[in-house]
Structure 1
Amino acid sequence: MTSAPAPVHLRRATATDATATADVWLRSFAATLPTVVRPRTDDEVRAHFRDVVVPLRETWVAEAAAGLVGVMVLDGALLSQLYLDPGWRGCGIGDRFVALAKERRPDGLTLWTFQVNEPAHRFYERHGFLAVERTDGSGNEEREPDVRYVWRPGR
């Protein structure tokens, strides 16, 4: 864990953030999900963030003096991405992102995470999300068994 040398600011992503946002995703995915096969190359991931994620989704970034250290993406009620630079895990950024997501979607949220990602399960459950569905992974690009979580206010 790296302690933040300066405040971390959450803000909406802009087009100029696309590459740095994708790079946070790539570093986080590699560090936290080493057994999950990625169906896209690094360049394809960067193009996806540039062409789809940042311009078409509600994309938020965590920015520190060192640059972008986190990304969260909302697509309707779906919290579709929440990734932190590995050195910035445990600094409260994920907690802040979830609080922001709940503020932005006060009627509820849903998300998917891989079954192998036990730290994510603990994180989301600590924030009031309940596991409501488990799959064999046939419905995702990675073909990795996953879990759908739901948060509703008042739980």
Structure 2
Amino acid sequence: MGLSHSGSMGAATPRRAVIEDAGAVADVLILSRRAAGDAIPAGVHSDAEVREWIRTVVIPQREVWLMEDADSRPLGVLVLDEDWVDQLYVAPACTGMGLGSRLIELAKSRRPAGLQLWTFVTNTAAQRFYLRHGFTVAETTDGSGNEEKAPDIRFVWTAP
């Protein structure tokens, strides 16, 4: 992505994604999952299937936010589906710069009654992130209910 640690992160702004953003949204999801290594189980869908899902299901049917820098480069994605944080990914070159925090705060402002989400047991960085942002563990599973068949944790957030 070629981003530096300069002021470009401070200038990052979220905006609602439109169908023309499907490629950018898919890129952030695909690249972020790959960069996560063993923290996230391998995807069960091809890149082409993910791109089609983003274009035909996610953007038309869910509330999708794209975080961009001043040059309109995609930095992060937040997908809300009712009270669920369905997806939250930050581009690999931009992790640790506060973008995920900004996106989760956006989610809280959009769903003040509360949020819930799933994360994999192996994704300890995500668990720390959500705990730091006031989420609590509501349930753990053996993964039999997700496509990856990997143990996961449901987190919830309720406004104080």
Same fold (TM over 0.5): yes
Change (3 A) 1:66 1:88: farther
Give the TM-score normalised by structure 1: 0.95
Q: Tell me what 1:32 maps to.
A: 36
Q: Percent identity?
A: 46
Alignment of 1:66-81 (within 5 A): 67-81=73-87
Change (3 A) 1:93 1:4: farther
Q: Work out whether 1:50 is the aligned partner of 2:20.
A: no
Q: 6-15 vs 59-68, which deviates more?
A: 59-68
The letter of the residue matching 1:12 is R
Whether the 8 Å contact between 1:74 and 1:81 is mirrored in structure 2 is: yes
1:97-120 CA-to-partner distances (Å, cap 9, x unmatched) read 111100000000000000000000
**5+ unaligned residues in a row in structure 1: which ranges?**
none
Q: CA deviation at 1:32?
A: 1.1
Change (3 A) 1:80 1:147: same
CA distance in 2, matches of 1:4, 1:102: 27
1:59-93 CA-to-partner distances (Å, cap 9, x unmatched) read 00101126111100000000110001000001111
Runs of 4+ in 1 over 4 A off after TM superposition: none
Give the TM-score normalised by structure 2: 0.92
2:114 to 108, 115, 124: 108
CA distance in 2, matches of 1:86, 1:55: 26
Secondary structure, aligned partner of 1:111: strand
CA distance in 2, matches of 1:147, 1:2: 33
Q: 65-74 vs 22-31, which deviates more?
A: 65-74
Q: 35-44 vs 67-76, which deviates more?
A: 35-44
Q: CA deviation at 1:41?
A: 0.1
Question: Over aligned residues, Cα RMSD in angstroms?
Answer: 1.4
Alignment of 1:1-155 (within 5 A): 2-6=4-8, 7-34=11-38, 36-64=41-69, 65=71, 67-154=73-160
Residues matched between the structures, number: 154
CA distance in 2, matches of 1:48, 1:23: 12
